[in-house]
Amino acid sequence: MDAFSSRVVRLLSSLLILLFSAVSVHSQQLSDAPEIPSNFTLDMQTAARLRPELFAQSVPAADSHAVGRLVFERLLAQLPQSSAAKSSGPKFLWQLRIVEDGELNAYASPDGTVLVESGLAQLAGPSTGLWAAILSHEITHVVRRDWARRYLYQRSLESAGATIVMGDPGLPSASWADSEKLSADMGRFCRQLEIEADREGLMLMAHAGYHPDFMPALHHLLHAQNSAVPAKSLYAMHPCWEERDRELSRAYLEATLEFERLWPAWYASPGGNPPIVVFAEQPTLKKTGSQWELQIPMRCQNLAGAVEVVVRSGSLQDGSSPLDAADPPDPPSAKSRDRQLPSELRQLTGCTSPHTTVTFELDDAHRRSKSGAEWTDIYVLDAWGAVLARADVPRHPR
Ligand SMILES: [Zn+2]
């Protein structure tokens, strides 16, 4: 199928799904979100109090991060006038800043200061689309005043007698990540806020000219990174990537249709052509005789050419994951392909079907070597060796 007809087919199937799902679109609003009273200003007061501290810990987005600032400004230009400081509502002091700590988070202060940690900024690199995926989400949090919603919801739970220890409701500080201290209700509410921010962020991206596929591309990149440092990221508080992909499928379709309407020539949009997105499903491991069969179902978007699936092993001691180690292995790269490691198996696939399955035959020696090495991770790489997706090898066969 040529690129045009495959686009038409995709558009038509998107339309069909939309027709079937249109009825329930509006039932997905936050049902238990308290209204923000018109005289509520605690969020802005808190932001003003913390502003000097946040500024001291960060630098303006310039130099190698100037591309982020450009995208930031383009996204802001799409906000309705009511959010752009002229309304009776809060006045946002939009600014993009970088926290040079190498971490992978982004967060926003209620006054419109958006902070991106340098690890995440580096991950986005020169890709305007990935920057748009990060920033549209944070801008949406600010415009929706999610800090205030979260604060008010917490207060309503407390007045109902629940005990929640969250510390200073200052900002997205450590308390945001401390999910253990949150009640189940609070956790659910915060995840709901995240999904909503993704959903509205997708539409903001589409309007500003960034293909919505950059959002799952970012999620999958972070998922691949998170394997090494699962608990360090603030995104731990966020719903898991699989859950986000699932919850957002309808929002993707809506935003994609809007993008295609506004930007018929994708390559000429501010974000350029959409990225390759690989949705790797949960792999299965089966034993047949002395052979193990590892099956990895996957689906690819915007792929012309092939992707490479890599299964790699790690050393398991005392049942702990090799990724718990202090010095976790890096994801595979083009470099490791040149000197094929014995602990890696590789396979190319064109991933042309929405039900592509890649199968690896592993014998017992492969499955678990004397040294305790076990196949633990599955990566999908693009033609340049960059990681597109990651999945875990199941621990138990079925
Ligand atoms: Zn968020």
* Residue 364 in this model has a pLDDT that exceeds 80: no
> If you measure from the C-alpha of residue 178 to the centroid of ligand 1, how many angstroms do you get, rounded to a whole number?
15
Domain 277-392 fold is Immunoglobulin-like (2.60.40)
pTM for this model (two decimals): 0.75
* Residue 323 in this model has a pLDDT that exceeds 60: no
Q: Average per-residue pLDDT in the chain? A: 76
* Long-range contact set of residues 193-197: C-beta below 8 Å, sequence gap at least 24: 193/30, 193/141, 193/146, 193/149, 193/150, 194/237, 194/238, 194/239, 194/244, 195/239, 195/244, 195/247, 195/248, 196/30, 196/140, 196/144, 197/137, 197/138, 197/140, 197/141, 197/144, 197/146
> If you measure from the C-alpha of residue 337 to the centroid of ligand 1, how many angstroms do you get, rounded to a whole number?
35
> If you measure from the C-alpha of residue 69 to the centroid of ligand 1, how many angstroms do you get, rounded to a whole number?
19
Average pLDDT over residues 31-39: 76
> If you measure from the C-alpha of residue 119 to the centroid of ligand 1, how many angstroms do you get, rounded to a whole number?
17
Nearest to 170, CA basis, from 36, 60, 42, 37: 42
> If you measure from the C-alpha of residue 363 to the centroid of ligand 1, how many angstroms do you get, rounded to a whole number?
43
* Residue 138 in this model has a pLDDT that exceeds 90: yes
> If you measure from the C-alpha of residue 238 to the centroid of ligand 1, how many angstroms do you get, rounded to a whole number?
7
* Residue 190 in this model has a pLDDT that exceeds 70: yes
- What is the 8-class DSSP label of residue 81? G
* Residue 9 in this model has a pLDDT that exceeds 60: no
**What's the pLDDT score for residue 157?**
79
> If you measure from the C-alpha of residue 141 to the centroid of ligand 1, how many angstroms do you get, rounded to a whole number?
7
> If you measure from the C-alpha of residue 235 to the centroid of ligand 1, how many angstroms do you get, rounded to a whole number?
8
- So where are the chain's domains? 25-268, 277-392
> If you measure from the C-alpha of residue 245 to the centroid of ligand 1, how many angstroms do you get, rounded to a whole number?
15
User: Phi and psi for 359 in degrees, rounded to 5?
Assistant: -115, 130
User: Phi and psi for 152 in degrees, rounded to 5?
Assistant: -65, -35
> If you measure from the C-alpha of residue 284 to the centroid of ligand 1, how many angstroms do you get, rounded to a whole number?
32
> Distance from CA of residue 349 to its chain's centroid?
24
> If you measure from the C-alpha of residue 140 to the centroid of ligand 1, how many angstroms do you get, rounded to a whole number?
9
Mind listing the pLDDT tens digit for each residue in 331-357?
555 444 444 445 788 999 999 988 899
pLDDT band at 91 (very low <50, low <70, confident <90, very high): confident
Q: How far apart are CA 269 and CA 264, in angstroms?
A: 9
> If you measure from the C-alpha of residue 315 to the centroid of ligand 1, how many angstroms do you get, rounded to a whole number?
34
**What's the pLDDT score for residue 241?**
59
Q: How far apart are CA 234 and CA 58, in angstroms?
A: 17
> If you measure from the C-alpha of residue 239 to the centroid of ligand 1, how many angstroms do you get, rounded to a whole number?
10
Cβ-proximal residues to 68 (8 Å cutoff; 6+ apart), any chain: 61, 96, 98, 116, 121, 124, 131, 135
Angle at 155 between CA 152 and CA 159, to 5 degrees: 140
Return the minimum-mean-pLDDT range out of 31-35, 50-54, 213-217.
31-35
pLDDT band at 372 (very low <50, low <70, confident <90, very high): low
Return the minimum-mean-pLDDT range out of 7-16, 246-255, 288-297, 311-320.
7-16
Of 1-5, 25-29, 47-51, 181-185, which has the strongest mean pLDDT? 47-51
- What is the 8-class DSSP label of residue 23? G
Strands 95-99 and 113-117: parallel
* Residue 206 in this model has a pLDDT that exceeds 90: yes
**What's the pLDDT score for residue 43?**
94
**What's the pLDDT score for residue 24?**
30
pLDDT band at 17 (very low <50, low <70, confident <90, very high): very low
Strands 59-60 and 291-301: unpaired
Share of the chain above pLDDT 90, in %: 41
Does residue 334 contact residue 318 with C-beta atoms inside 8 Å? no
Of 32-41, 89-98, 155-164, which has the strongest mean pLDDT? 89-98
